């Protein structure tokens, strides 16, 4: 992690950037004086400064000059114009730069910042409550210590692991879009509870806690989901009856193909014309 005399710059400190700032401050990994956030809207920068006690500016060059590590949190179509600034590339030479822009590849980042250590990261929205998942991919020449710094930043808002850049579009689909897929399944489970007589608020609470508990069972036991499913499925019971209905609807294929299609679109995000990027 950063030494006490080092600074993290967060360029484009919007929803995700602020979530990371909150996580870093909550964990005690960084002091407010070690974070320098930027936003082109003066009122947003002022609100960030007031809320978190961090330094803020509307000038990306100013923040990059002061920083040891830079976190790029702008939208995919804004990354090129931002990092393509020759003055910024000079200021970032020799520094660690981490981009969370979906679809922006490591070779693009390295092209804009040939003298920087570049890392690509894909967090998801549960980072907003400290329960997120982030996957990073390191560029050529990034040291183990620099990769560890990136991992430590995102561990402040949930889990984090490292993968290769070639799988990051799949990561964007599964991790970035995945919460939306989970929410629609959660909504459907709630609807089923309502259909059978439960109040919607009660059905939603039961379904959400069940979803969370089931996911934690996988993470904490290390068991395959199929094995955990079999533990619940007794002969001639209600669970197998419900599972067969799900299989009739080809639920496995539909969900897997949703991940496949989202990954196909994710690959185009960082390559789209300005202003044309759909959200993850």
250 domain residue, yes or no: yes
**Would you call 134 helix, strand, or coil by DSSP?**
strand
Give pLDDT tens digits for 230-241: 999 999 999 999
Q: With contact defined as beta carbons under 8 Å apart, do 8 and 68 qualify?
A: yes
Q: What is the pTM of this model?
A: 0.92
- pLDDT at residue 81, as a whole number: 95
* Residue 114 in domain: yes
> How many domains are contained in the chain?
2
Instruction: Give, in order, the Cα–Cα distances in Å from 157 to each of 17, 33, 128, 134, 215.
Output: 11, 20, 7, 9, 17
Residues 37 and 156 in one domain: yes
Looking at 163, 194, 223, the residue that finishes a domain is 163
Q: What is the pLDDT of residues 162-194, one digit of tens each?
A: 999 999 999 999 999 999 999 999 999 999 999
Question: Residue 1 falls within a domain, yes or no?
Answer: no
H/E run at residue 15: helix 15-27
pLDDT at 153 over 90: yes
Decide which of 116, 143, 163 is a domain's last residue. Answer: 163
**Residues of the domain holding 22:** 8-163
């Amino acid at each position: 992690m950063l030494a006490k005399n080092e600074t993290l710059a967060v360029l484009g400190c919007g929803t995700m950037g602020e979530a990371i700032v909150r996580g870093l401050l909550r964990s005690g990994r960084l002091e407010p004086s070690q974070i320098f956030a930027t936003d082109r809207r003066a009122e947003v920068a002022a609100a960030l400064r007031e809320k978190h006690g961090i330094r803020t500016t509307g000038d990306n060059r100013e923040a990059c000059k002061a920083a040891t590590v830079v976190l790029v949190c702008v939208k995919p179509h804004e990354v090129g114009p931002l990092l393509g600034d020759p003055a910024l590339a000079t200021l970032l030479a020799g520094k660690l730069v981490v981009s969370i822009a979906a679809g922006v590849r490591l070779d693009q980042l390295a092209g804009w910042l040939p003298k920087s250590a570049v890392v690509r990261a894909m967090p998801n929205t549960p980072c907003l409550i400290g329960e997120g998942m982030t996957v990073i991919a390191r560029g050529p020449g990034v040291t183990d210590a620099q990769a560890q710094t990136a991992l430590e930043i995102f561990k402040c808002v949930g889990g984090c692991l490292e993968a290769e850049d070639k799988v990051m579009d799949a990561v964007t689909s599964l991790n970035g879009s995945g919460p939306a897929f989970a929410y629609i399944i959660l909504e459907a489970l709630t609807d089923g509870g309502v259909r059978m007589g439960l109040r919607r608020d009660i059905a939603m609470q039961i379904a959400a806690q069940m979803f969370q508990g089931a996911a934690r069972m996988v993470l904490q036991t290390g068991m395959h989901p199929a094995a955990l499913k079999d533990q619940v499925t007794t002969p001639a019971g209600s669970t197998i009856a419900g599972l067969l209905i799900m299989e009739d609807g080809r639920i496995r294929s539909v969900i897997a193909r949703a991940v496949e299609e989202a990954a196909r679109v994710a690959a185009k995000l960082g390559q789209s014309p300005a202003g044309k990027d759909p959200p993850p």
